[in-house]
Amino acid sequence: MQYIQIKEMILEQIDGGMLLPRQKLPSERVLALSFNTTRITLREALSLLETEGRIYREDRRGWFISPLPLRYSLKETFDFTQMALSQARLPKTECLGAKCVLADQRVLALLGLAPFSTVHCLERLYYLEGRVVAYGVHYIRADCFPHLLKQDSGSTCEKNCLDHVSPFYKETQYQISARALFGLMASRLRATSGSLGLRVERIHSNQEGKKLDVEIEYWRQDAIKLEFHLSLE
Amino acid sequence: MQYIQIKEMILEQIDGGMLLPRQKLPSERVLALSFNTTRITLREALSLLETEGRIYREDRRGWFISPLPLRYSLKETFDFTQMALSQARLPKTECLGAKCVLADQRVLALLGLAPFSTVHCLERLYYLEGRVVAYGVHYIRADCFPHLLKQDSGSTCEKNCLDHVSPFYKETQYQISARALFGLMASRLRATSGSLGLRVERIHSNQEGKKLDVEIEYWRQDAIKLEFHLSLE
DNA sequence: GAGTGGTCTAGACCACGGA
DNA sequence: CCGTGGTCTAGACCACTCA
């Protein structure tokens, strides 16, 4: 169980403040040498630290120290910028695209739509202190909000669409699961293919129980800590 | 990316119904041979499937097909038996111990207690169709519920303590995170040391905002899918 | 006691990132 | 172009599980 000891030693360095958040670790070969072992064993130790959320990988770029996770509060609406700022973090949201498209099978099912329905589709990347931490896609029923994207194609993405949609929210349905990140998703997050991510799905319904929109986010595993509270009344 | 293809081939077997839930896969050596590769590469493919929640490991026993995950609804109170039964699953709860102890540092902090406070501590294992899926520990303020364990030491554990405590619940605070399973925790769940688990923490407070108890659960990653809903009023 | 998974060694080649 | 991480080979030993 050599890799456990290696893990502990690296952890000491981190906890001792020798290594700062987002700092790059030495190369695998160098680390393997200094722990007097092979790359395979060394990688075992690194993977363990990755699972524990203490370090993260950027595909082909190396291993880095994880910053403190963002506390992600499960609320009716999701406002990344405000959530980050309130925790003294530096957020950035990048818009990847906003268009009106035919809903695919999965979206049809999630929103309970008839075949060939159209939805507005907004894709975003979320950054903290310059590091990509999540990819999010937002599908909004086009029949309920026909002019959402048409009015001002440029700024709609920056300016939160939520302003138009959220006033109608009555119920919010969450689903959370651990998922492996692959292909496009992985590369958008600069993650190694097959690494673990957290999937957060949020469906909103209005007063009449009609499903208005669905947001799906994929987070880097170490980037968030989920929390929320309920109160009886 | 040979291991991706191997993963896909195994997945086909599972989805094709050739392999049933909780059934054991052939040994790593046999699989490596039949895919004409080495154990290391084969294990890469298996780890990927594990991350995706399609198969799971029992420490030193082998790899098994994952059953469908239990839908875990985040509510004010947690009733494993009822949750499982309502989804046509076969639950079993095993009590590992019930005693009154001095609260350790961590529990003191979680419940906001004064040093040297005592708490009732109940430990349980949760099974589905005979497979261990979670370990849970429940700490309850002893000063608020002094006679909880004294009355009938034997049956208290079976008979849910919740009956005594839950009527006072007013607020519930959840925290969810991905954690690596180690040592005692791993062996209780028959998991390989270092494998991924889901940690669910739940703190209940009463009308006056006083924290009454905290439940901490560690779930095998593939065993549950978290969900919940909110509604505005 | 046979076979298993857990761990480890000592290499290798390739494609990509960054200078 | 160099060094990196991603991937892979071909073995080995040990402690444990299970029949």
Three-class DSSP labels, B161-226: CHHHHHHHCCEEEEEEEEEECCHHHHHHCCCCCCCEEEEEEEEEECCCCCEEEEEEEEEEHHHEEE
B68 touches strand C (CB under 7 A): no
Say whether A5 sits in a helix, a strand or coil. Answer: helix
The pLDDT, as a whole number, for residue B152 is: 52
Q: How far is A152 from chain B (nearest CA, A)?
A: 30
* pLDDT tens-place string over residues A40-86: 999 999 999 999 999 999 999 999 999 999 999 999 889 999 999 99
The pLDDT, as a whole number, for residue B123 is: 93
A55 and A133, same structural domain?
Answer: no
* β-pair partners for A173: A203, B229
B173 and B61, same structural domain?
Answer: no
A166 and A91, same structural domain?
Answer: yes
Return d(Cα B35, Cα B116) in angstroms, integer.
59
The domain that holds A45 is classified in CATH as 1.10.10.10
* pLDDT tens-place string over residues A188-222: 999 999 999 999 999 999 999 999 999 999 999 99
A78 and A41, same structural domain?
Answer: no
Sheet holding B118-128, edge to edge: A70-73, A224-231, B171-180, B196-205, B211-220, B131-141, B118-128, B91-102
B125 and B100, same structural domain?
Answer: yes
* pLDDT tens-place string over residues B17-64: 888 999 999 999 999 999 999 999 999 999 999 999 999 999 999 999
CB distance A169 to B232 below 8 Å: yes
Average pLDDT over residues A99-114: 94
Average pLDDT over residues A8-21: 90
Which nucleotide, over all strands, has the C1' atom closest to the CA of A45? Answer: C7
Residue B42 belongs to domain spanning: 2-65
Asked if the structure places residue A233 within a domain, the reply is no
A185 and A218, same structural domain?
Answer: yes
| A166 has a pLDDT exceeding 90 | no
Which nucleotide, over all strands, has the C1' atom closest to the CA of A43? Answer: D5
Q: Which residues of chain A approach chain B closer than 8 Å at the C-beta?
A: 4, 40, 48, 51-53, 69, 74-76, 169-180, 193-196, 198, 221, 225-232
- Tally of domains in chain A: 2
> Nucleotide D10: nearest residue by CA–C1'?
B38
Average pLDDT over residues B143-156: 65
Average pLDDT over residues B74-86: 94
**Which of A18, A46, A65 is the C-terminal boundary of a domain?**
A65
Q: How far is B224 from chain A (nearest CA, A)?
A: 8
The pLDDT, as a whole number, for residue B160 is: 61
The pLDDT, as a whole number, for residue B150 is: 61
* pLDDT tens-place string over residues B115-136: 999 999 999 999 999 999 999 9
B87 and B59, same structural domain?
Answer: no
Asked if the structure places residue B232 within a domain, the reply is no
| A117 has a pLDDT exceeding 60 | yes
CB distance A165 to A172 below 8 Å: no
